[in-house]
Structure 1
Amino acid sequence: MRTVRDRIRHAVSFELIGLALITPLGAWGFGLSLHDMGIVGVVSATLATLWNYVYNVAFDHALLRASGTTLKGPWTRVLHAVAFELGLLVVLMPFLAWYLQISLWDAFVMDAAIALFYMLYAWVFNWGYDRVFPLAEWQEQAQAGHHST
């Protein structure tokens, strides 16, 4: 399992890189000012960082209990990303509607588009993060014959 320090590094780096990508893309795609998209991005990133930490601890504990390992294959990564974004969607939609003065439907559509971006980004980021910062237990399991990611 990852340490608290490693989980914090993971969550913060995920959000900072994501924010650097989504702010200009979102401003362009949604026709918002960089300022408004920046506010949406910072508030969303703050909430997502907190959710990221809590979610990943819970997911890893559940995965360890269910399978005896925290090693994630491709389908586990898909489940991981989709469930994360669905939970975040519930949290962010009311904020988007309030801050941007848009309907809940428009907030849902915007949030769904952002969630789609982040699902793809989360898969790529987490795959890369696990390559840059692998856990020793994964190498041991791979050598013992378990399938790796």
Structure 2
Amino acid sequence: MRSPLDRLRHAIAFELIALVIAIPLGALAFHQPLGDMGVVGVGSAVIAMLWNMVFNYGFDLMLRRVRGTTEKTPRWRVLHAVTFEVGMLLILMPFIAWYLQISLWQAFVMDLAFSVFYMCYALVFNWGYDRLFPLPEWQEAQPR
């Protein structure tokens, strides 16, 4: 499994790259001031970073118990991304509605759009991260 420092590096890199992409796109797509989307983006990133570390640790424990390894097949990667984003949707919707002074429905639609973006982004980012920083246990599991 990944160390706490590796999980922290993963979470910070994930959120910083996502913010650079998501804040301008969100401001443009939802006709919100860039500054307001920046606050929502940074606030969401802090919440997401904490959720990321907790969720990924729990997911890895479950994966190791179910499969005997933390290596993810494409199917497990999709399940990982979807379940992570469902949790984020439930956590962030009230925050977005409150800060932007919009209805829960508008916040839901906005959050859902960000969730779709983040699911796709998470799939690509995590796959790349695992290739860039593979775990030794994965090398041992490879057939020779």
TM-score, normalised with respect to structure 2: 0.98
Tell me how large the CA RMSD over aligned residues is.
0.7
Matched, 1:141 2:141: yes
**Moved beyond 4 Å, runs of 4+:** none
Which whole-Å CA distance do the structure 2 matches of 1:77 and 1:103 have between them?
32
- 1:76-124: CA deviations, max 9, x gaps? 0000000000001011000111111111000000000000000000000
The AA in structure 2 aligned to 1:77 is: R
Which whole-Å CA distance do the structure 2 matches of 1:33 and 1:134 have between them?
40
Matched, 1:105 2:105: yes
Which whole-Å CA distance do the structure 1 matches of 2:89 and 2:74 have between them?
23
Identity %: 62
The offset of 1:33, in angstroms, is 1.0
Question: After the TM superposition, which residues 50-129 of structure 1 pair with which residues of structure 2 at under 5 Å, given as runs?
Answer: 50-129=50-129
Corresponding position of 2:35: 35
Corresponding position of 2:7: 7
Report the secondary structure of 2:41's partner residue.
Answer: helix
TM-score, normalised with respect to structure 1: 0.95
The AA in structure 2 aligned to 1:53 is: M
Which whole-Å CA distance do the structure 2 matches of 1:5 and 1:97 have between them?
33
The offset of 1:139, in angstroms, is 1.3
The offset of 1:143, in angstroms, is 2.4
Aligned length, in residue pairs: 144
Gaps in structure 1 of 5+ consecutive residues:
145-149
Matched, 1:45 2:45: yes
